[in-house]
Amino acid sequence: MKHGIRICLFLLTVFAIMACTDSRKVEIIRQAESLMQDQPDSALHLLQTIDRHTLRGETLARYALIYSIAQDKSGLDVSSDSLLRIAYEFYCQHPEDSLYALSQYYMGKYLHLTAQTDSAYACLLKAKNTSEEEEDYYTAYLATDRMRRIAEVSDTALCLNFAKEAYRLYQKQGANNPVNEAYLLIGIGDTYCRRGDGDSALHYYNIALDKAKSVCDSVAISIVFQNISCCYWENKQYNIALDYAQQANNYRGYLDESLAMLFAQCYIEEGEYNIAKQYMNAQPLSDSKENQLVRLRIQHRFSAKTEDIDATQEYFDSAIDVAADMYLNTQKDKLELQRRKLHEEMERQRAELREKIFALCLCFSVVLLALIVWLFIKYHRARKIEKELFGAEKERLLAEETMLRKEKAHKEQIMEQTRFYVKKMVGVLRKLEEYRREKALQEQKDKENSPKSKGGKKDKIQMKIDEKDWTELQAYLEACDDSFVTRFKEQFPDISKDDYRLCLLLRCGFTNSDLEMVYLNGMQVIKNRQNLAKERLGITGNNFSLRQYIMQF
């Protein structure tokens, strides 16, 4: 008894320690969540004190999302989405959670950075719509601005809509940061510039310039001046472009590669080739393929302006090579990303399989054993019942078979009696019997008087069949001969009246001698009449006569 009490106390102590540990972890995650916006490094430090492998369910998903956000805000280059995807998959199943929109946004941002634009756009659109419904305009602004960056490559009209919508959402969320507003306005101006609308672009650049000057942010001011310079360069106003480029340089305080290339482009178009060459050589060759391609294009333009054909071709070929390298590197990165994602997915599935396989095997074994026992019992019960029922069923079947055989014989007997009675009642058949007897008597009389009447003409007996007789004959064949009339008319709908009546007589068993009494024709004429009717009915084959066909119909 005492031993059992000790065990219970020990288990309660363990559960209490585990509960306190879990509560401590949840509290650390909440502290990191409060720090991730303004102090992402501190948030990461707190989260790194937790072993995420001990977390489950919502706690793990929350940890994974906050850790990913802190990494992003700390500027860390994350090459894998394994941690973020834990949060993403969890919140996809819980769209009512307040962190659902954030999980969609950061997954969309990751997918955009890894060139998976279609999937990224879908996630960002969900983040925007959900956050707007919840009046979280900050997340909606972030998602819309990210969609602007996706659309600026292929659809400037959509990009412009997203840029304006992002600015509207940023203002609506109530933040008062002129620098952020300036960058959003710069994005709108850049979109107008790519669309060729220089006036609208300059309008938004000037508003952004006022915002940046209001807080004396020299970096933002320098970027605005540089973008205005590019806008004037696009409109071939190179003198004005040079003035704004110089102002950008003054605020920046140093000459970077992008600004040097802008000066070089303007001086090339102005015909100041020596100055342009100085700016092109002012900066060392960049490691970035994009910057190398821009420099080669400017050098190609410089060589074309100075009519240096060999250098023009050389720079053109070099630009082609760099562009090809950029394309190949992009494809390699995509393939590597797909390979890494496939590997991570396979590892995740293997881990899940290893976790489930033992429980699955155990459940399967228990179910299989129970099924075998149940089937064994059921089989023996079924065999016992089957043996009991087999004898009774066999006796019942034999009794039914005997009864059916008797009923069949009785029905056939009744049918035969019915046919005989009906046949006696049909006027045509009664007449046939009477005329047969009359004919037989006539033949006997002729035979007895043949010496006396030699050379004289014999009288023929004619059997007259009126319309009433034909009607009775049809009714008899229809009722007692398996609907013969209906079947025959369906088979031969265009048969003539005479041929039809001939077939009725043949079906009733009229011999050629009987037909001779009906038609008062000789035996040969009767046969010819049958052959002609056979041809009109379209009955082929010479192996049987019309009579045989009608009797077998």
The domain ranges of the chain are 20-94, 463-552
Residue (of 138, 144, 85) closest to 111 by Cα position:
85
Which of 164-173, 330-339, 518-527 has the least mean pLDDT? 330-339
What is d(CA 369, CA 361) in angstroms, rounded to the nearest whole number?
Answer: 12
Query: For 433-442, which contacts have Cβ atoms below 8 Å and span 24 or more sequence positions?
Result: 435/461, 435/463, 435/514, 435/517, 436/514, 439/513, 439/517
Q: Which residue has the higher pLDDT, 432 or 28?
A: 28
Evaluate if residue 3 carries a pLDDT over 70. Answer: no
Q: Which residues does 105 contact at the CB level (< 8 Å), separation at least 6?
A: 123, 124, 127, 131, 139, 142, 143, 146
Confidence tier at 496 by pLDDT (50, 70, 90): confident
> Quick check: 70 and 36 in contact, CB under 8 A?
yes
Cα torsion 14, 16, 18, 22 to 10°: value is 180
Mean pLDDT (whole number) for 373-401: 83
pLDDT digit string (tens) for 236-253?
888 888 888 889 888 888
Confidence tier at 2 by pLDDT (50, 70, 90): very low
* Alpha helices, DSSP H, located in 74-116: 82-92, 100-113
Mean pLDDT (whole number) for 140-147: 89
**H/E segment holding residue 168:** helix 156-172
> Quick check: 276 and 264 in contact, CB under 8 A?
yes
Evaluate if residue 542 carries a pLDDT over 70. Answer: no
Confidence tier at 315 by pLDDT (50, 70, 90): confident
Which of 286-290, 358-362, 462-466 has the least mean pLDDT? 286-290
pLDDT digit string (tens) for 272-310?
888 888 888 877 777 777 777 888 888 888 888 888 888
Phi then psi for residue 462, to 5 deg, are -110, 130
Mean pLDDT (whole number) for 74-93: 80
Evaluate if residue 421 carries a pLDDT over 70. Answer: no
Angle made by CA atoms 352, 356, 362, in degrees to the nearest 5? 170
> Quick check: 518 and 453 in contact, CB under 8 A?
no
Which of 173-177, 411-415, 440-444 has the least mean pLDDT? 411-415
Give the predicted TM-score (pTM) of the model: 0.55
The pLDDT score that the predictor gives to residue 419 is: 57
Mean pLDDT (whole number) for 104-131: 87
The pLDDT score that the predictor gives to residue 422 is: 54
Mean pLDDT (whole number) for 90-97: 89
Evaluate if residue 74 carries a pLDDT over 60. Answer: yes
Evaluate if residue 179 carries a pLDDT over 60. Answer: yes
The pLDDT score that the predictor gives to residue 268 is: 84
Residue (of 214, 212, 232) closest to 223 by Cα position:
212
What is d(CA 246, CA 259) in angstroms, rounded to the nearest whole number?
Answer: 9
Residue (of 252, 306, 258) closest to 282 by Cα position:
258
Cβ atoms within 10 A of the Cβ of 432, count?
A: 21
